[in-house]
């Protein structure tokens, strides 16, 4: 089993969940031109960060959560053949 990257500060590491292509009967409906948010599973979280006032700000997302994140603004990278997204905890739009 390979190790996963561990995020720093208030970052969250997601593994994207593929929604597949939408079909209507036997016709494939393309997603061209549509900017939809991404859905992913939280696989690792950072320890949090310290605010400018010295208080600790913890990460609200937990490992195993299914979340919705914006498509634009997330950092996407491939690590040992698996695609991951990394973003700040505050950028998560919703928990499913």
pLDDT digit string (tens) for 20-56? 655 556 665 565 555 567 899 999 999 999 999 999 9
Contact in structure between 60 and 91 (CB atoms under 8 Å): no
Domain ranges of the chain: 11-95
Asked whether the whole model's pTM tops 0.85, one would answer no
pLDDT digit string (tens) for 61-87? 999 999 999 988 889 999 999 999 999
Of 1.10.10.10, 3.40.1410.10, 3.40.630.30, 2.30.33.40, the CATH number of 11-95 is 2.30.33.40
């Amino acid at each position: 089993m390979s190790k996963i990257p561990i995020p720093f500060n208030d970052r969250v590491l997601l593994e994207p969940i593929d929604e597949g292509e939408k079909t209507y009967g036997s016709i494939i409906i393309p997603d061209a031109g549509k900017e939809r948010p991404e859905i992913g599973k939280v696989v690792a979280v950072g320890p949090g960060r310290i605010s400018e006032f010295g208080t600790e700000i913890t990460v609200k997302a937990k490992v195993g959560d299914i979340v919705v994140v914006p498509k634009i603004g997330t950092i996407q990278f491939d690590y040992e053949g698996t695609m991951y997204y990394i973003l700040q905890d505050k950028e998560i739009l919703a928990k499913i």
